[in-house]
Amino acid sequence: MRGQIRIRSVLCKSCGLCIEACPKGSIRISKQMNPNSYFPAEFQKDQECTGCGLCAIVCPEAIIEVYREK
């Protein structure tokens, strides 16, 4: 099963918890600042994602959505 995540970057505060939680290393800090002057987390589309949902569980802002492809 393959997954994909969406992060609402406008609301991200760059805590990095999702990056630490991702077992596949599919999330990184963006080089572009959001309107609130944070460098948000972003999903690396070229990396593998299993859709496990750990990133969404640990996100204190609840801004990550996880999708699984069948």
What does the pLDDT look like over 5-46, one tens digit per residue?
999 999 999 999 999 999 999 999 999 999 999 999 999 988
Question: What residues does each domain of the chain span?
Answer: 3-68
Q: How confident is the model at residue 55 (pLDDT cuts 50, 70, 90)?
A: very high
CB 34 within 8 A of CB 40: yes
| Long-range pairs, 58-62, Cβ under 8 A, ≥24 | 58/17, 58/18, 58/20, 58/21, 59/17, 59/18, 60/15, 60/17, 61/11, 61/12, 61/13
CATH architecture of 3-68: 2-Layer Sandwich (3.30)
Report the pLDDT value the prediction gives residue 69, as an integer from 0 to 100: 83
Check residue 1 and give its pLDDT: 62
Report the pLDDT value the prediction gives residue 70, as an integer from 0 to 100.
73
